[in-house]
Amino acid sequence: MPNLEGARTPRFLYGTAWKEDRTAALTELALRMGFRGIDTANQRRHYFEAGVGEALAKASGENLVTRENLFLQTKFTYLPGQDHRLPYDPAADLPTQVAQSMASSLEHLGTDYVDSFVLHGPSSGYGWTDADAQVWTAMLKERDAGRTRMLGVSNVSLRHLHQMTGLHAETPAFVQNRCFARFGWDREVRRFCSERDIRYQGFSLLTANPEVLRHAFVASLAARENVTPAQVIFRFALAVGVLPLTGTSDPTHMKQDLASESLKLSDKEVQAIESLVG
Ligand SMILES: NC(=O)c1ccc[n+]([C@@H]2O[C@H](COP(=O)([O-])OP(=O)(O)OC[C@H]3O[C@@H](n4cnc5c(N)ncnc54)[C@H](OP(=O)(O)O)[C@@H]3O)[C@@H](O)[C@H]2O)c1
């Protein structure tokens, strides 16, 4: 079983999607603000992984961070999720593509290991396929070779997870999903994860849930604690065991997101938010 609660699994992840030529500057800013967990992907269409590496080099050059106190997560993305800027040979078989993607990520990030390597999404929305099984087996090899400490899967349904864990002896350390409040904040997948010591990472906590952000109950808690509704949502996520992602470009929001951890919500309030809209 991987060590999920090790000192290097942070409480918050800074997401680096959609930042293009601002990726290096924003990742560096996030590190200066105190983030120690970075989420990226070797998918040039949405992420500029080499820009993340540039920020890491600058921050470690200035002794702001060491590799040991950073948590770096990247992803393998299938061909249909990529544009023409591929991190692997599209004609190669899937295990080779996984190995090439990982080698390229390590080069981009200037490191010889990542902390978490995630399958960006299964090949089909309907279930765990033979292709996914091949990719997962190749990812296990990367882990066994020491190029990643842990493995994860993203954009998965309960069905994917049941099929995957039925087929493979090794379960993921992480599941990373979009977290919709109207589905009980992905209640079923979160339950599946908590029963198996899988750490659930939630993204789009704000953008997927505008009805919660403007809900009167959340507004009243925010007013009482003198914080923003976004901070209430992040505090709620932490309280129910979600490892939240934020991709904010705003230094004030970076500070607020990290500070949300110290906000006080009662168990009853957390339960109320959990079933506020679904
Ligand atoms: N696995 C996947 O398929 C997948 C998919 C999507 C995302 N992700 C990961 O998750 C990360 C986060 O993505 P996301 O979808 O959650 O969206 P996001 O990039 O975090 O966007 C959040 C939006 O909310 C705004 N915002 C307002 N107040 C905020 C506050 N206090 N804190 C943070 N944001 C605030 C932000 O604007 P400001 O910039 O002005 O703050 C931004 O427009 C991505 O960078 C990526 O790493 C993964």
pLDDT recorded at residue 256: 98
pLDDT in tens, 23-36: 999 999 999 999 99
Query: For the chain, how far is it from start to end, CA to CA, in angstroms?
Result: 33
pTM: predicted TM-score of the whole model, two decimal places = 0.97
Question: Is the pLDDT assigned to residue 6 strictly greater than 70?
Answer: no
How many angstroms separate the alpha carbon of residue 17 from the centre of ligand 1? 8
Question: Is beta strand 243-246 parallel, antiparallel or unpaired with respect to 148-154?
Answer: unpaired
How far, in Å, from the CA of 202 to the mean position of ligand 1?
10
Residue 160 pLDDT > 70, yes or no?
A: yes
How far is Cα 62 from Cα 140, in angstroms, rounded to an integer?
34
Pocket of ligand 1 (CB under 6 A): 15-17, 39, 120, 154-155, 176, 203-207, 228, 230, 245-250, 253, 256-257
Q: How many A from CA of 183 to the centre of ligand 1?
A: 19
Burial per residue of 195-228, b for 16 or more beta-carbon CB atoms within 10 angstroms, e otherwise: eeebbbbbbebbebbeebbebeebeebbeebebb
CA distance linking residue 6 with residue 31, whole number of Å: 20
pLDDT of residue 9: 83
Instruction: Give the distance (Å) from ligand 1 centre to CA of residue 15.
Output: 7
Give mean pLDDT, residues 56-84. 97
| Dihedral angle of Cα 107, 111, 117, 121, to the nearest 10 degrees | -30
- Percent of the chain past pLDDT 70, that is, above it, reads 97
User: What is the mean pLDDT of the segment spanning 84-100?
Assistant: 98
- The per-residue pLDDT for 4 is 41
Q: Which mutation among 253, 261, 263 tests ligand 1's pocket best, with the greatest number of atoms within 8 A of CB?
A: 253
For the chain, the average pLDDT equals: 96
